[in-house]
Structure 1
Amino acid sequence: MNPFDGPGSPRAGEAEDGADSRGPWTRFSAWLECVCVVTFDLELGQAIELVYPQDVKLTEKEKTSICYLSFPDSYSGCLGDTQFSFRLRQSVGRRASRSRDDVYNREAPVTLQSETSHFFGYVYFRQVKDVSVKRGYFQKSLVLVSRLPYTHLFHSLLQIIAPEFFEKLEPCLEAVCNEIDQWPSPEPGLTVNLPVMGVVLQVRIPSKSDKPGGSPVRQTAKENLLPAPTLLPTIHELDLFRCFQSVLVHLQMLWELTLLGEPLVVMAPSPTVSSETVLALIGSISPLKFCCDFRPYFTIHDSEFREYTTRTQAPPSVVLGVTNPFFIKTFQNWPHIVRLAEVRMAGDLPKQVKVKKLSKLKTLDTKPGIYTAYKTFLHKDKILIKRLLKGIQRKRPSEAQSAILRRHLLELTQSFIIPLERYMASLMPLQRSVTPWKTPPQIRPFSQDEFMATLEHAGPQLTSLLKGDWMGLYRKFFRSPNFDGWYRHRHKEMTQKLESLHLEVICDADLLGWTKDKSEVEIVDLILKLREKLVRARRQQLQVKDGVLDKLDVFITSIIGSLPEDLQTVLNAP
């Protein structure tokens, strides 16, 4: 058996298309796709006034979506300044700089990877009375469009630049974009200093090697910066306690619905509450990646509106944040609807919404509540709820309450995922079964029944005190897009690990000895297969021991040199 008959081959047409590092806006585009200014035109309605950099190509469909998603709808009544987020589908055929994204995504946590088919929009909207305008109001949004889910960083950035922009307009925006084009690229694991408008933001880019929930060692810059940097404690995390304060007693249910990728609508009084609640739900299952679609702020003008509201088929696995009461009628056939209002206090405590029957959703003035027939698999964590409610009475800061919540959700998700990780690791062939003269052994298929049998001795009960039907939860999880996404990601990692091990044992084998009694045809076949493995290894940037790829390159060169000249010419042809 030839040693290089490994599975897979380079995908056709997948040549490296990395951005030229000297090109204009290269550093800017590592952080942002573009900056848009959306205004209200009496004749056109919402319209894009400005896109920067000016050579950024947005399709008409993308521009229309950005226009509608950048303004709160009239039901929100947002006066003054409002910040919120949205997410929109990119037009078909758009290509990112894949090589740069691949480098970042390989080291970033899965929950913070750069999007390949969606954009995030981070909005700073201002609506103030202005008698010089026909409608009597100044209405404008500054929007940062990015592939990165850096919610906290980009909203902090908007708080610095938007107020100044609304005073000085375009020249200010051009200066800011030029400053961003000087920023270092976001490299997971590094602390970076990001100067903008006389302020230096210092933030650490999380890495997949960080311990989940741990506080990474803060790496301060060596130079003495003037002005002293403003330290952002996180690049993406939200104030979870503020997002969940009126649904604390139902946190277990919301976590399960998100984990299982159930269709869920959040109806909120404003785009801010809508987008923060949706993003908090998506983040509640971290470090597991939410693999379904989600829209922090969704409007009836969205290009996917029909797709998501059709009654001819079951609702899709998507979490939608909306503010328009019209949606109550539209989403009557959806199984889970969270209706929020502005938080009201009952004495010292925020009033908790109740779980209600879906049949009560019929009127436009629907009261706050969680409208669902869902029954949780796991019991509520009453100790957590008491601890949080006691924290409110004792005036515990929101940051501390959020830290308690985040720790609880992390431990809950880890208790659920660790048995799956442990079982998945057992499907990996033993290292000693990887030999240079055979195709790498296959990863064993995932058997749900076999996994279930491991739960009695190595299930979530080892790390979680929560009681309930864990096995029922796993069975339902196996049918969700989140399981499919997790499994594909882990299987890909394991396949690449096998490929790396195979390359390493090939490198340690006596390759020259193997060729001595082989025909030219067999030797040429070996060279071609080995080259293919090297191309794939470099494209996927496989983690192999130092020197392995170089050693195999040297071997190829020396073997080609021992062949007749006509074959050398063919094999050395570019």
Structure 2
Amino acid sequence: MAGENGSLVSSDISSYTAALYANELKEYPFSLDALRKWMIAFVVCDFNVDIGVEVEYMFPSTNFSPTDLQTICFSSFPERTSSDTTEDSAFHFRFRHSSPYVSCQTTNEDPAYWYGFCLFRQQRDTAVKRNYRQKSLVLVSQHDYAPLFAYLIKTISLLDFEVSPTLIESACSNIAAWGPPEVGLQELPFLGSLLDVHIPPHPAFPLQGLVTATPSRTDIRVEYKEIHTSEPIGSWTRLANLLNSISELYIIFERVLLSDPMVVLADDPTTCSEFVSAVVDLVRPVSFRLWFGCQLLYGYRRLMCKQIPFGGDCRPYLTMQSVLDFSLNAHEGIPLRHYLIGITNPFFLKRLLSNGKENKTPYVVYLAGPEVKRKHHLHFYSSITERDHPNNMIVNDAKAFIEKDHEFLRVLENQLKDPRTTREHSNYAGLRASGTRRHFAHLAAMFLAPLNRYLATLASKSSDSNIIDIAGFSEGDFLASLSKHGCSVQFKGKTGYHRHRTAEAFYRKFCRSPSFFRWLEMKMRLQQEPLEVIGTSSVSGYGEKTEQD
């Protein structure tokens, strides 16, 4: 299995990479600058039993640093695999890059990070050791367009198991011809199919992909696919069943709001990366006033004031070997206090929990599955033997603030028991998954309402009524406003007084969290951003196929 025997990456990776560059084409049948507006490179990794993971080739030739190439190799293979499994495994990861000579266009808030979108597969082959081959196709990009890039690598791998350079070159030529990414709807051809790609004004745009339009085209010779670039990869129809209890969703929701440390421990990288993607989506509030067409710009600005960016380090899939990249801040003397990571190695969890008292103890989400839950309350996957299982599985001691909606949980539990929800790609399963997303989107919107109400009073004191004087924000004044006007979120407490004290404590925590400061920073940036930067033409097509809330 990958990762069991020594190093995963050849120790001579620097010289190997240099030789790889020398053998690459020096000219391409497409514009490299045009390609780099969407992505950086494809990397094909192969598992050599004697050496470990090695780069078979990359295209186009890219001057990745040895550290980045090593991170890509480590992250492109599951830490454990079963020889009986021949199904493809798709997942994604995020890493802090160190390749200063790679030039690419990015609109990300944090250009220091890149993203890898992988498809791992193994195939029986009696001609090699262990009787099967393992290979990963990785698309490295500066954009977090997970649904789009996951579709691209899946399409490529379906056409050719070996992922030939000729096919990769054709894929790059298609992508380079797309033009730059633009907010709105773009029709993008890719290897015989036509993609309707929706890029929202901001990655935190709420409820992405809940409504999929039926193509009006009649040309049956072309496959059409609608993709929302900020839609979560994971579906709650599958993921909620893996939780120890579905009521745990409320604790997870609170932790993400506060950017408190959280670790998702799963059996495979697909599950943990999908779960992290779905969790971040929980704090994308519904915009109750969003207009399209000529009024979209106003709706865009109003919408942005209602979103909560995750304020920590988010890693959908992290391996033991790539922990140095994750703990970079800790090595610089800054303790890791705010993060959301997905892992598959229980010993990695043990290492995280023993990092010292200066780091906050993370909340651990054990994705054990319903069949395991019935046997052991805190047991992990049955596929992990007792030898592999750490002795000290922690019991989470997280204080809950928000009262659970028992009616919602009852309906959700009944839906998850419905056999139709197991057919994840059916319309019924999609409808059930959207119910969870809608519930927490509305909850997030209600949570922000008191803050927006208080900030509106600061705007009225400013010389320009359209500009909020965020510098005048006072935690004490806000809590006084909260005490006077209350909030719609139901907090825990036996009496009204106790519920108010719980609400006050939670809002105080939020106002001191990195999520709050990133939210305020986003509001300030949008207020100072001229309308020309947003551009009416670039967003006029956005939302034509999405739902108005």
TM-score, normalised to structure 2's length? 0.72
Q: Does residue 481 in structure 1 map to residue 514 in structure 2? A: yes
Q: Which amino acid aligns with 2:347?
A: F
What's 1:409 paired with?
A: 440
User: Matched residues in 1 for 2:147 and 2:225: separation?
Assistant: 12
Matches within 5 A, 1:217-256: 227-232=221-226, 234-235=228-229, 236-237=231-232, 238-247=234-243, 248-256=246-254
Which residue among 149, 170, 175 is the counterpart of 2:165? 170
Distance 1:74-1:209 versus aligned 2 partners, 3 A rule: closer
What's 2:281 paired with?
A: 283
Which residue among 371, 387, 390 is the counterpart of 2:414? 390
Which residue among 419, 438, 442 is the counterpart of 2:450? 419
Q: Which amino acid aligns with 1:447?
A: S
Distance 1:341-1:325 versus aligned 2 partners, 3 A rule: same
What's 1:446 paired with?
A: 473
User: Matched residues in 1 for 2:262 and 2:203: separation?
Assistant: 32
SS at match of 1:36: strand
Q: Greater CA deviation, 393-402 or 271-280?
A: 393-402
Deviation of 1:115 (Å): 4.8
Which residue among 413, 418, 431 is the counterpart of 1:400? 431
Give CA deviations for 1:459-497 in whole Å, capped at 9, x if unaligned: 432xx4555422211111122111111111112323457
Deviation of 1:26 (Å): 3.2
Q: Does residue 262 in structure 1 map to residue 286 in structure 2? A: no
Deviation of 1:41 (Å): 2.7
Give CA deviations for 1:296-326 in whole Å, capped at 9, x if unaligned: 111111132554888x985431112111121
> Structure 1: which 5+ runs fail to align?
1-21, 103-112, 357-361, 435-439, 501-537, 545-574
User: Matched residues in 1 for 2:375 and 2:237: separation?
Assistant: 13
Q: Greater CA deviation, 24-33 or 336-345?
A: 336-345
What's 2:16 paired with?
A: none
Matches within 5 A, 1:186-225: 186-190=181-185, 192-208=186-202, 212-213=206-207
What's 1:60 paired with?
A: 66
Q: Which amino acid aligns with 1:376?
A: A
User: Matched residues in 2 for 1:216 and 1:315: separation?
Assistant: 35
SS at match of 2:459: coil
Which residue among 49, 57, 65 is the counterpart of 1:50? 57
Distance 1:197-1:424 versus aligned 2 partners, 3 A rule: same
Q: Which amino acid aligns with 1:472?
A: A
SS at match of 1:460: coil
Distance 1:164-1:213 versus aligned 2 partners, 3 A rule: closer
Deviation of 1:394 (Å): 4.0
Task: Judge conservation of contact 1:428–1:444 (CA < 8 Å) in 2.
Answer: no
Q: Which structure has the greater CA radius of gyration?
A: 1
Task: Judge conservation of contact 2:192–2:222 (CA < 8 Å) in 1.
Answer: no
User: Matched residues in 2 for 1:163 and 1:70: separation?
Assistant: 18
What's 1:335 paired with?
A: 361
Q: Which amino acid aligns with 2:370?
A: R
Q: Does residue 295 in structure 1 map to residue 322 in structure 2? A: no
User: Matched residues in 2 for 1:378 and 1:204: separation?
Assistant: 34
TM-score, normalised to structure 1's length? 0.70
Task: Judge conservation of contact 2:458–2:472 (CA < 8 Å) in 1.
Answer: yes
SS at match of 1:428: helix
What's 2:404 paired with?
A: 380
User: Matched residues in 1 for 2:212 and 2:347: separation?
Assistant: 47
Distance 1:441-1:385 versus aligned 2 partners, 3 A rule: closer
What's 1:179 paired with?
A: 174
User: Matched residues in 1 for 2:227 and 2:412: separation?
Assistant: 22
Task: Judge conservation of contact 2:89–2:120 (CA < 8 Å) in 1.
Answer: yes
Deviation of 1:71 (Å): 0.5
Deviation of 1:229 (Å): 4.1
Distance 1:152-1:211 versus aligned 2 partners, 3 A rule: closer
SS at match of 1:451: helix
Deviation of 1:443 (Å): 5.2
Deviation of 1:30 (Å): 2.4
Task: Judge conservation of contact 1:199–1:230 (CA < 8 Å) in 2.
Answer: yes
Which residue among 370, 374, 379 is the counterpart of 1:344? 370
What's 2:541 paired with?
A: none
Q: Which amino acid aligns with 2:308?
A: L
> Structure 2: which 5+ runs fail to align?
1-28, 285-306, 355-359, 380-385, 422-427, 493-498, 537-549
Give CA deviations for 1:346-367 in whole Å, capped at 9, x if unaligned: 9xxx8698589xxxxx995369
Matches within 5 A, 1:65-214: 65-74=71-80, 79-80=85-86, 81-91=88-98, 93=100, 97=104, 101-102=106-107, 113=108, 115-167=110-162, 169-190=164-185, 192-208=186-202, 212-213=206-207
* Number of aligned positions between the proteins: 453
User: Matched residues in 2 for 1:354 and 1:178: separation?
Assistant: 52
User: Matched residues in 2 for 1:339 and 1:78: separation?
Assistant: 27
Task: Judge conservation of contact 1:241–1:402 (CA < 8 Å) in 2.
Answer: yes
CA root-mean-square deviation:
3.7
Q: Which amino acid aligns with 1:50?
A: Y
User: Matched residues in 2 for 1:234 and 1:352: separation?
Assistant: 39
Deviation of 1:44 (Å): 3.3
What's 2:504 paired with?
A: 471
User: Matched residues in 1 for 2:210 and 2:274: separation?
Assistant: 25
User: Matched residues in 2 for 1:220 and 1:194: separation?
Assistant: 17
Deviation of 1:163 (Å): 2.6
Deviation of 1:442 (Å): 6.3
